[in-house]
């Protein structure tokens, strides 16, 4: 795999005018004929999808169609699940994600993940950001402090927590915790962000704040977001992929530009789902 | 409208009430009586000299200095061996073997059986293995190692429970951040498992410090000040047993020694629960 650049804060400095970055529609992650089995039982099959660099791709579909499972293939979190078998091909630029000898630690540094339920570590706010940085070899105190400030500013949390960086992260509100988790991922300078229903455990107000944050990350990160909130998907997504369960197995029914998926879907299943008639 | 409850309690409610409270009162009264008896008879004999002086006249007079030292050393050996082994095994069982793994299941089952084995059996085993086979003789080392064998099952199982109580999403989010298993273990799981470890430690040490049967055959009876770990040394509980059973006129010192033992137990308990709440406050564990 390509050697990683050292983590610096430079990736976080972006001129104010560039705040809402653009999506270039250039394939970055290629998924080819991907299938996943849990103990021999297929969760989803034959998913072929190309994800564009710097764009927000929304994954939508009913419960149990394999959206979460799909995300966990990309950062190889599937390795942790006993009896889980993934077949097919995933490439990020030139990196073969499913190659057996791959350094998953480096892979997961390039691909951050945000979970449905905010899950900061039971440490202080500062330690939550510092601990992963240190483990990835950043030792310089000044650099750590800079990265902490820059990422917290990035997620709009700095002003709220700058005076209590050493208080427990779990004392923050749900929305703040989720933004801290996003900051924790951003601190490692990832290229791809996987978000599994990042707003669904939050109140509407916090949900809106996190949604705005995600939009502000467009262009700088390639974002895959699972959401059950179709209105949200319409608001923020550049591209969309629609999953559906057929005979108990998840399938990718249709993928493409979000506007087209939501407004003129080709497949009748998609049409029924996005108009709220099914699912 | 809410129905007014039946004014007169029916028989079943009364019975339940009486038996629950009866049991609670019985336990408390028994404990207080026991403690009161020991304090009543023992407190007047306790002094600095009693705690430091060697026993005289088979323990009828003099103090328990060497006995406290032996007890401390035996406990020290026991902890030095059982803590690292216990935590290591708990980590292996909780983090690196799946629930269905045959090796894990066998180990867990054996530990549960071992935890219930009477201490005299451990004593005989320790005598045969540490004293004879390994040639350590009647010594503090043999005694400590035997106690370690006895304490390990409890320690391992409760530490393992401590690890299992840590929510899985810590492991997932740590892995998703590209943290190694070792880093996750050391920085996240171990601190979160400390309360479980402390519970096991209190139960284990409590059992060890009060142990007689396992020590009679391993660390022996000698009430001199031990000079090395290979010397025989008399533990506090054995001293109490000896004074009250074999030495006529030793009751007063037996009471005083028992009081010292109880105080030690209370201190260990108190320290552990303080540590547990302290570490919880520092970490704040999610519900
Ligand atoms: N660890 C696992 N072991 C076995 N089966 C699993 C596991 N995780 C998920 N599954 C199964 O795989 C299928 C897809 O699950 P997945 O969680 O990926 O769906 P999802 O689209 O994310 O659903 P939701 O919208 O409810 O989050 C489901 O049938 C689920 O029961
Ligand atoms: Mg899901």
For a mutational test of ligand 1's pocket, the pick from A42, A60, A62, A67, i.e. the residue with the most ligand atoms closer than 8 A to its C-beta, is A67
Instruction: Give me the residue label for tokens 């994954």.
Output: A59
Q: Tell me the C-alpha distance between B231 and B180, whole Å.
A: 45
Given a cut of 60, is residue B261 above it in pLDDT?
A: yes
Read off the tokens for A244. Answer: 């559906």
Q: Tell me the C-alpha distance between B104 and B131, whole Å.
A: 30
Its ipTM equals 0.86
Given a cut of 70, is residue B1 above it in pLDDT?
A: no
**Same domain assignment for residues B40 and B73:** no
CATH match of A27-121+191-274 with 3.40.50.300: yes
* CA A66 to ligand 1 centroid distance, Å: 5
User: Looking at residue B258, which CATH number applies to its domain?
Assistant: 1.10.3720.10
* CA B170 to ligand 1 centroid distance, Å: 19
B1, part of any domain: no
Write the burial class of residue A2 (CB in 10 Å: 0-12 exposed, 13-18 middle, 19+ buried): exposed
Say yes or no for a CB contact (<8 Å) between A107 and B178.
yes
In contact, B183 and A135? CB cutoff 8 Å: yes
Beta-bridge partners for A222: A192
Q: What is the distance in angstroms between the Cα of A181 and the nearest Cα belonging to chain B? A: 9
B32, part of any domain: yes
**Same domain assignment for residues B65 and B95:** yes
Whether A251 lines ligand 1, by a CB cut-off of 6 Å, is no
B212, part of any domain: yes
For a mutational test of ligand 1's pocket, the pick from A64, A80, A83, A247, i.e. the residue with the most ligand atoms closer than 8 A to its C-beta, is A64
Residue range A86-122, pLDDT digits in tens = 999 999 998 999 999 899 999 999 999 999 999 999 8
Q: What is the DSSP letter of B58?
A: G
In this complex, the residue of A115, A122, A188 whose CB is nearest that of residue B192 is A122
**Same domain assignment for residues B19 and B118:** no
- For residue A228, the ligand closest to its alpha carbon is 1
**Same domain assignment for residues B24 and B152:** no
* Domain span including residue B20: 11-45
In contact, A71 and A250? CB cutoff 8 Å: no
Tell me which of A69-78, B92-101, B174-183, B252-261 is least confident. Answer: B92-101
B4, part of any domain: no
Q: Tell me the C-alpha distance between B180 and A234, whole Å.
A: 37
Whether A63 lines ligand 1, by a CB cut-off of 6 Å, is yes
Helix ranges, B96-139 (H) = 102-115, 119-126
Q: For residue B192, give the chain A residue with the closest CA.
A: A122
Provide the sign of the torsion angle of the four alpha carbons B27, B30, B36, B41, taken in this order.
Answer: negative
Residue B211 CB partners (closer than 8 Å, separation 6+):
B119, B147, B150, B235, B237
Q: Tell me the C-alpha distance between B65 and B145, whole Å.
A: 22
**Same domain assignment for residues B85 and B208:** yes
Q: What is the distance in angstroms between the Cα of A211 and the nearest Cα belonging to chain B? A: 21
Give buried/exposed letters for A140-167 (b at 16+ CB in 10 A, else e): eeeebeebbbbbbebbbbbeebeeebee
| Number of domains comprising chain B | 2
Residue A6 CB partners (closer than 8 Å, separation 6+):
A137, A138
B3, part of any domain: no
Read off the tokens for B264. Answer: 């030690």
Residue B232: HSE in the Cβ half-sphere, 13 Å Cα cutoff: 16
What size, in residues, is chain B? Answer: 287
Q: What is the DSSP letter of B127?
A: I
Q: What is the distance in angstroms between the Cα of B268 and the nearest Cα belonging to chain A? A: 27
Q: Tell me the C-alpha distance between A71 and A64, whole Å.
A: 13
- For residue A61, the ligand closest to its alpha carbon is 1
Q: Tell me the C-alpha distance between A117 and A29, whole Å.
A: 26
Provide the sign of the torsion angle of the four alpha carbons A223, A228, A229, A234, taken in this order.
Answer: positive
* CA A169 to ligand 1 centroid distance, Å: 29
Whether A66 lines ligand 1, by a CB cut-off of 6 Å, is yes
**Same domain assignment for residues B53 and B29:** no
Residue range B37-47, pLDDT digits in tens = 999 988 888 88
Q: What is the distance in angstroms between the Cα of B170 and the nearest Cα belonging to chain A? A: 7
Predicted structure pTM score? 0.81
**Same domain assignment for residues B40 and B177:** no
Closest of B245, B239, B258 to residue B54, by C-alpha:
B239
Provide the sign of the torsion angle of the four alpha carbons B215, B216, B218, B223, taken in this order.
Answer: positive
Say yes or no for a CB contact (<8 Å) between A122 and B284.
yes
B86, part of any domain: yes
Cβ of A208: how many Cβ atoms within 10 Å?
14
Q: Tell me the C-alpha distance between B175 and A68, whole Å.
A: 16
Q: What is the DSSP letter of A264?
A: S
In this complex, the residue of A82, A135, A168 whose CB is nearest that of residue B179 is A135
What does the pLDDT profile of chain A (279 residues) look like in tens digits? 444 444 544 444 444 334 456 788 889 999 999 999 999 999 999 999 999 999 999 999 999 999 999 999 999 999 988 889 999 999 999 899 999 989 999 999 999 999 999 999 989 999 999 999 999 999 999 999 999 999 999 999 999 999 999 999 999 999 999 999 999 999 999 999 999 999 998 899 889 999 999 999 999 999 999 999 999 999 999 999 999 999 999 999 999 999 999 999 999 999 999 887 666
**Same domain assignment for residues B183 and B258:** yes
Q: For chain B, how long is the longest CA-to-CA vector?
A: 80
């Amino acid at each position: 795999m390509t050697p990683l650049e050292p983590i610096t804060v430079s990736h976080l400095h972006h001129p104010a005018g560039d705040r809402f970055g653009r999506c270039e529609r250039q394939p970055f992650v290629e998924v080819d004929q991907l299938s996943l089995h849990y103990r021999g039982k297929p969760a989803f099959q034959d998913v072929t999808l190309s994800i564009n660099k710097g764009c927000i791709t929304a994954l939508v579909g009913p419960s149990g169609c394999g959206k979460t499972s799909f995300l966990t293939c990309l950062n190889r979190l599937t390795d942790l699940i006993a009896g889980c078998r993934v077949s097919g091909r995933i490439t990020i630029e030139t990196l073969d994600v499913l190659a057996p000898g791959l350094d998953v630690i480096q892979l997961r540094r390039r691909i951050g993940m945000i979970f449905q339920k905010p899950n900061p570590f039971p440490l202080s706010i500062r330690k939550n950001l510092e601990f992963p940085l240190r483990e990835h070899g950043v030792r310089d105190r000044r650099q750590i402090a800079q990265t902490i400030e820059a990422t917290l500013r990035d997620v709009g949390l700095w002003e709220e927590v700058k005076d209590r960086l050493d208080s427990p992260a779990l004392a923050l509100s749900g929305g703040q915790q989720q933004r801290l988790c996003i900051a924790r991922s951003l601190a490692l300078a990832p290229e791809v962000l996987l978000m599994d229903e990042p707003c669904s455990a939050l109140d509407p107000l916090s949900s809106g704040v996190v949604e705005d944050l995600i939009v502000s990350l467009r262009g700088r990160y390639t974002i895959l977001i699972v959401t059950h909130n179709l209105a949200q998907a319409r608001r923020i997504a550049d591209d969309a992929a629609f999953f559906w369960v057929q005979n108990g197995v998840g399938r990718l029914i249709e993928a493409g530009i979000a506007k087209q998926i939501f407004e003129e879907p080709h497949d009748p299943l998609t049409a029924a789902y996005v108009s709220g008639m099914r699912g | 409208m809410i129905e007014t409850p039946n004014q007169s309690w029916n028989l079943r409610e009364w019975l339940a009430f009486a038996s629950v409270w009866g049991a609670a009162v019985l336990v408390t009264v028994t404990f207080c009586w026991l403690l009161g008896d020991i304090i009543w008879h023992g407190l007047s004999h306790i002094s600095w000299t009693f705690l430091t002086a060697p026993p005289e006249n088979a323990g009828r007079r003099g103090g328990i200095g060497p006995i406290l030292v032996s007890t401390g050393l035996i406990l020290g050996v026991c902890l030095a061996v059982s803590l690292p082994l216990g935590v290591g095994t708990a980590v292996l069982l909780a983090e690196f073997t799946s629930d269905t793994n045959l090796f894990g299941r066998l180990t867990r089952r054996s530990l549960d059986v071992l935890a219930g084995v009477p201490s005299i059996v451990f004593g005989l085993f320790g005598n045969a293995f540490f004293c004879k086979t390994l040639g350590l003789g009647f010594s503090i080392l043999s005694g400590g190692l035997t106690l370690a064998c006895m304490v390990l099952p409890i320690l391992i199982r409760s530490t393992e429970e401590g690890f299992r109580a840590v929510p899985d999403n810590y492991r997932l989010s740590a892995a998703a951040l590209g943290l190694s298993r070792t880093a996750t273990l050391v920085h996240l799981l171990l601190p979160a498992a400390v309360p479980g470890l402390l519970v096991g430690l209190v139960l284990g040490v409590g059992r060890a410090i009060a142990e007689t049967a396992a020590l009679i055959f391993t660390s022996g009876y000698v009430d001199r000040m031990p000079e090395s770990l290979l010397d025989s040394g008399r533990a506090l509980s054995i001293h109490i047993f000896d004074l009250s059973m074999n030495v006529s006129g030793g009751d007063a010192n037996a009471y005083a020694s028992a009081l010292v033992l109880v105080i030690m137990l209370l201190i260990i308990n108190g320290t552990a629960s303080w540590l547990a709440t302290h570490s919880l406050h520092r970490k704040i564990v999610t519900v």
